[in-house]
Structure 1
Amino acid sequence: MSSSHAEHPTPNGSEPRLDGLPPPAVLQLQAAARAIRDGAEPAARQALAGVLALVPEHPEALRLYGILHTRAQRHDEARVCLQRALAQWPDYALAHSDLAGVQHARGDMEAAFACWRRACALAPAAPMPWFNLGRNLQLHGDTTAAIEALQQAHMLAPDFLPALILLGDALVHAGRFDEADARYRAALALYPACGDAWRGLANMKTRPLSDADREQLSVAWRQPAITPTDRIAMGFALGKVCEDQGRYGEAFDALNRANSELRELRPWQAAAFHAHADALLVASRQLPSAIDLKLGHEVIFIVGLPRSGSTLFEQILAAHSHVEGASELSELEQVLGEESRRRQQSLLQWIGAADAADWQRFGQRYLTLTARWRRHKPRHTDKLPSNWLLTGVLGAMLPGARIIDARRDALEAGWSCYKQQFYRLPHFACTLTDIAAYIRDYERVMGVWQSAEPQRIRIQHYEALLAAPEDEIRALLAFCALPFEPSCLDYHRASRSVRTASAAQVRQPLRRDTARAGHYGALLDPLRFGLGLPKFG
């Protein structure tokens, strides 16, 4: 059996991954692949068992078994199958790439990236290994390396839209806006109804779209054959360009339609979330005192509502010589998820049973997972807005961490959330009434914790920063036990990757003309009512 199996067919047209299989086994392998695609696990297992009965340890059958286990989140079993495949074909690029995904899911990032890079080395002319490497480098925060890998994928497959879009996104995060614009527009040249391309252009919020863009977008948005995901993304982009041009009625109509379609995919349950937030608050107030009160002093969490200035506050802190801006990290969720899987219970089910030693272990695990962000600077930010819900948990797990609660005028913040497409569903921002309910829950929970522990939580008001930037920045740094550095006043000059929808805005000096809700008058009265504000006018 050959030991070199790249992704492309051999010159005579045969498929290398089928080497050594008799025709009946080939048919069964193809049936297994279809069953995996369709989510039919019993049929896939039966077909793969048939292949392995005919050709024991065949690498492609083992690889498909690995994919089957991965889909079911059985990552240990998937790893074993893929390692068995690679024992037969050590140079099988696809198997290395699949194994990388499994290692990533298991939290072994070093092994994952080694596998992705090995796949690229084995199949340098194949675009998918480069795309997978670039996509995951970008998710991991290594934007420069991601750009290089995605450029390679794009060069090898110029018409592959996902590579073009992700390359545009990475260029935005690096502050290379002209290049990003060119990539998004190249995608639109291939497919004018590419929602992700319009989303990328609209999210460069300091670069307004033109009248021609609005007309092209309006035409594409109304085409009956486009996919719901493209239509939703284009609706948000159309809302953005109409607002920029003062066409507020049209903007509201486009955003209302986009949010309605987005909500249909997975509706937000405000009452269930309210009950969950209250239950977590009650449980968190009964957690044991921390063993090491300094554990986590390296970390500055930034929480709050999306679109409330959290990226701006992170950019200010990241301009400091002691702080690395890590953006929106998943490690806190990963640590708690690992414990939930170990106990086979949800967080609310096991939170009361964890003792002080458990919480210290969780904190140390988080610090281990995030150590890469402290290789060059001693401290890092973790800017995931929804972590406000875990403020009490953080007190037991990382009591030495500081928490910045990013606050903005609730009406402006709520309306800004309504204008922004969020991809993690269900999401609270698809109706004005759900937004108001979410804001009330957030403010109530954070009010409890801030009153109880002001030494570890600072409410940082966006409007206060606009009114007195130097005073607020000095106070922010002092709260974080950081010496004042003038570079924090010139935060927009900081050279770093910014991986949020505010990537363009935080590279500009402070603007004081960011209020937009007043333009919509009574259209926003449902939000005002939910927030306890008087009706418009």
Structure 2
Amino acid sequence: MSNSATPMPAPLGRTTGSSRVIRRLARCALRSRCALEATRSNPEAKFSLLGGALATMRPFLLVTWMETNDLLGRLKAALASRRRASVNEAIVDLLAAPPRIGRSWKSVALAARRNGELTLARACAARMTADGVPEGPYEEAAMAALTGQLEEARKLAAHASPSGITEAALEYLRGTIALNSGELILAEAHFDAARLGDPSIGQTYLALASLRDMAAAPELAEIILDAREKVSTSNPFDRAAYHYALGKTLDDLDEPERAFEEIAAGARIMANLRPYDRNADASLAQSAIRGFDGARIAAFARSVDSDNDRPILVTGSPRSGTTLLQEMLVRHSAVADGDELDQFSVLLREIGGNGAGDLERYQERLGGIDALARLYLRLLTERFGTGGRIVDKSLNASRYLGQFAAVLPGAPLIWMRRSRLENAWSCLKTFFAAGINWSWSQEDIAHHFHLEDKLLERWQAILGDRLLIVDYEDLVQDTRSTTGGVLRHCRLPEEESVFGEGKGNRTVTTASVVQARQPIYRRGLDRARRYRERLQPFVTAYRSFGGKID
């Protein structure tokens, strides 16, 4: 956050001695309350507690320009130091003051969210509204949605006005909230309103295309196909999104050649915007397994005292069936919820790397790794509350699986696997907004899959029966038997509910959001067959790495 981006507050005059005393007393009271809670549970609890208190406070305390700069300077120094606790403390002090920093609260909110402090993040977003920022209510709603509070997000978005933003942006947010809540008809209405408000936004057409089979919605298909000129002058990201929307639409309309060309056009744009670094990917994969074996993981785990069997880790390549399995598990009465989380990345920053040596150095500094287990479990509670098991379906878990297994020795580990050709096609045709830069090229997909294959082979050898391998095809075709094995692995009794309807109004934020709202998605089988010839670059590259394709 730069000084130049920080709106200077209006001169408020000299702060009186009494107001300074009041402010200090307020900070001391809040910190004392946090300290008391810390003695009752653990020191990490204070940020959730304080965030909850501050989210409901609207203190009218005068803050001088000098004090504002001091508070922001401390936060910037904490961010530069990459010390999570220091960043959290600096955010707490900002909220306890609080200065009028307007739009800069958004950057503070994002820093809190990156640290997993979701209550603090929402409190920071609320300060934008309190400071009179026109788009404050919109940003509040967006942050509530990002942190899993869909009902709160819905209410905020419903009452937000397009001040400071466009009507199309507000409708798109409302549509996204409805989509992630499983209200597909309402989502379509909002997305269509966004399209009418600004027909040049390619992401809107992609959202509309994802909601229905275009063969059964010819009018909507025609709207998407006819929008090319409207999107032609948009930014590259929106143009790429529109190409993927065309690809989905034409695939549904049984025009595979045209569909593939549109997807390839969108992928070329994204490859320029977000290039894939093969060397960095390979280096991260290598460091993940360096130094790990079964005995070393067991030795690490002996220093973990916290009860840690709440999470269920589901991992695998994107589009391999992880969302399907997650949705089945959360139907179980003992499983409260699940999502594509990124909480272990907070721990990785605490540890300083993803290898065994990094974890050992952390252990030497702190005398054990139980603090990491407590942090992870507190972040789960911050996101989902206290009750029930939680499915952690995080991207790239293969790159820290050894550390996860050591820090949370009671957590079941599941790896979803899918036919490589089907998986490659599904990744290639999916518009990943962030984090999957290897998906823009068939050769890069092959390279990444090769790395994942090697990691799976190594983790199987290290973790043994603790890592359950589930094939997507088995889960879809032999659902009861396969799911029964998954439930036993997770130490869950069998229940008929896992084969029924999903829990209503759950947050689903992955690229498989629409399929997650449907019964077992058997259409995912053998979808790549008619594109086999066009997927030959992937087949050739994957085989060159030693991979096998039927």
- TM-score, normalised by the number of residues in structure 1: 0.79
Shift of 1:473: 1.7
Contact 2:148 2:383 (8 Å CA) reproduced: no
- Tell me if structure 1 keeps the 8 A contact 2:247–2:260: yes
Is the 8 Å Cα contact of residues 79 and 87 (structure 2) preserved in structure 1? no
Q: 1:70 to 1:250 in 2, by over 3 A?
A: farther
Alignment of 1:238-277 (within 5 A): 238-277=246-285
Within 5 A, what are the aligned runs for 1:196-211? 196-204=203-211, 210-211=217-218
Deviation, structure 1 residue 90? 6.2
Partner in structure 1 of residue 322 of structure 2 = 310
| 1:43-73 C-alpha deviation (Å, 9 max, x unpaired) | xxxxxxxxxxxx9726776788689779968
Deviation at 1:450, TM superposition (A): 2.1
**Does structure 1 retain, via aligned residues, the 8 Å contact 2:310–2:411?**
yes
Partners in 1 of 2:489 and 2:368 — Cα distance? 28
**1:19-51 superposed Cα distances (whole Å, 9 cap, x missing partner):** 569xxxxxxxxxxxxxxxxxxxxxxxxxxxxxx
* Cα 1:315/1:154, change in 2 over 3 Å: farther
The whole-number CA distance in structure 2 between the counterparts of 1:500 and 1:240 is 17
Indicate if the aligned counterparts of 1:66 and 1:82 stay in contact, CA closer than 8 A: no
Question: Could you report, residue by residue, the CA deviation over 1:399-450 in whole angstroms, capped at 9, with x for unpaired residues?
Answer: 1111111111111111100011112256111111111121121122112222
Q: Indicate the residue corresponding to 1:381 in structure 2.
A: 391
Match of 1:173 among 154, 177, 180: 180
Partner of 1:527: 538
Identity, % of aligned pairs? Answer: 24
Q: CA deviation at 1:164?
A: 2.0
What CA distance in whole angstroms lies between the structure 2 residues aligned with 1:512 and 1:346? 36
CA contact (8 A) 1:428 1:434 kept: yes
Deviation digits for residues 440-462 of structure 1 (CA, Å, limit 9, x no counterpart):
21122112222432332111111
Kindly indicate whether residue 329 of structure 2 is the aligned counterpart of residue 321 of structure 1.
Answer: no
Q: What displacement does 1:354 show?
A: 3.6
Change (3 A) 1:525 1:436: same
In structure 2, the residue matched to 1:110 is: 119
**CA–CA distance in structure 1, aligned partners of residues 436 and 149 of structure 2:** 28
- The residue type paired with residue 530 of structure 1 is A
The alignment partner of 1:453 has SS state of helix
- For 2:80 and 2:227, how far apart are their aligned partners in 1? 37
**Deviation digits for residues 238-293 of structure 1 (CA, Å, limit 9, x no counterpart):** 11101011110111111111111101123212244224312321233355441148
2:432·2:511 contact (CA, 8 Å) conserved in 1?
Answer: no
Per-residue deviation at 1:382? 0.5
Give 1:128's aligned residue: 135
Are the counterparts in 1 of residues 115 and 346 from structure 2 also a CA contact under 8 Å?
Answer: no
Q: Secondary structure at the match of 1:326?
A: strand
Please list every run of 5 or more consecutive structure 1 residues that lacks an aligned counterpart in the other structure: 1-14, 22-54
CA deviation map 1:83-132 (0-9, x unaligned) = 57985x76776576665445444543333323434554564xx6522222
Q: How does 1:344-359 map to 2 (within 5 A)?
A: 350-355=358-363, 357-359=367-369
Q: C-alpha separation between the residues in 2 aligned to 1:160 and 1:284?
A: 52
Q: 1:372 aligns with which of 376, 382, 399?
A: 382
1:142: which partner in 2? 149
1:447-458 pair list within 5 angstroms: 447-458=457-468
Which amino acid is the alignment partner of residue 380 of structure 2?
Answer: T
331-340 or 212-221: bigger deviation: 212-221
Q: Secondary structure at the match of 2:416?
A: strand
Q: Aligned match of 2:224 in 191, 213, 217?
A: 217
Deviates more, 1:270-279 or 1:89-98: 89-98
Find the aligned partners of 1:209 and 1:82 in 2 and give their Cα distance: 52
Aligned residues: 482
CA distance in 2 between partners of 1:73 and 1:135 (Å): 28
| Maintained 8 Å contact 2:125/2:136 | yes
Letter in 1 for 2:118: M
TM-score, normalised with respect to structure 2: 0.77
Cα distance change on mapping 1:270 and 1:298 into 2, 3 Å: same
Change in Cα spacing, 1:493 to 1:102, as seen in structure 2 (3 Å) is: closer
Match of 1:37 in 2: none
- Over residues 341-389 of structure 1, what are the superposed CA-to-partner deviations in whole Å (9 max), with x where a residue is unaligned? xxxx786873453438543322221111112355353210110131122
CA distance 1:521–1:57, change in 2 (3 Å)? closer
**CA shift at 1:493, angstroms?**
5.8
In 1, are the aligned partners of 2:8 and 2:65 still within 8 Å (CA)? Answer: no
2:489 and 2:549 map into 1 onto residues whose CA distance is: 37
Q: Does 1:505 align with 2:512?
A: no
Paired residues for 1:410-489 under 5 Å: 410-425=420-435, 427-489=437-499
Tell me, what secondary structure is at the counterpart of 2:318? coil
Pick closer, same or farther for the CA change 1:226–1:95 going to 2, 3 Å. Answer: closer
Q: Name whichever of 320-329 and 157-166 sits farther off.
A: 157-166
Counterpart AA for 1:529: T
Quickly say closer, same or farther: Cα 1:421–1:501, change in 2 above 3 A: same
Partner of 1:279: 287
Structure 2 counterpart of 1:166, one-letter code: L
In the TM superposition, what is the alpha-carbon distance from 1:294 to its structure 2 partner? Answer: 7.8
Contact 1:203 1:501 in 2 (8 A): no
Distance 1:534 1:280 in 2: 24
Supply the RMSD in Å over aligned alpha carbons. 3.5
Q: Which amino acid aligns with 1:520?
A: Y
Q: Tell me the equivalent position of 1:163.
A: 170
From the superposition, tell whether residues 503 and 208 of structure 1 become closer, same or farther in structure 2 (CA, over 3 Å): farther
Q: Distance in 2 between matches of 1:16 and 1:295?
A: 47
Q: Which residue, 194, 218, 225 being the options, matches 1:187?
A: 194
Q: Secondary structure at the match of 2:246?
A: helix
Paired letter, 1:167 = R
Determine the C-alpha separation between the residues in 1 that align with 2:248 and 2:351.
41
